[in-house]
Amino acid sequence: MILLDTSVIIELFRKKNKDQTLFYAISKQEIQLGISAISHYEISVGNRELHSEFWGQIQKTITVIPFDESCSNAAANIYSDLRKKSKMIDLADLLIGATAVAHNIPIATLNTKHFQRIVGLKLY
């Protein structure tokens, strides 16, 4: 499984040529795709009606990984580590990264600058 960061889905919405997106490149590899519950929330609240049907179709092919106690523990550790290093990232990115770390899933993102700061996170 590959965990898709919100940025990968946003790129899919925005690009006219869907076959030139990271989502398309990954989906061609027949790897199971997932998103964190945090990304699901971000996309759902930011989704314009224009993309509602498209988002509905995408959701049928993606597993939503819940933010559970193991994710919460990972997030607390990541927060502490980033704070000590003065390298904080957005809370949503921290929680999405924690989901990937807790479930030992590599993450695909267009925001490598933030996610590479998380120790133990595998970037796709």
Cα 62 from Cα 31, distance rounded (Å): 11
- Is a pLDDT exceeding 90 seen at residue 13? no
Side chain identity at residue 110, one-letter code: L
CA distances from 120 to 47, 113, 115 (A): 31, 15, 10
pLDDT tens profile 27-53: 988 789 999 999 999 988 887 676 778
Interval 71-112: pLDDT, tens: 999 999 999 999 999 999 999 999 999 999 999 999 999 999
Q: What is the pLDDT of residue 52?
A: 76
Which domains, from first to last, does the chain contain? 2-115 (3.40.50.1010)
Task: Tell me the whole-structure pTM to 2 decimals.
Answer: 0.92
Amino acid (1-letter code) at residue 9: I
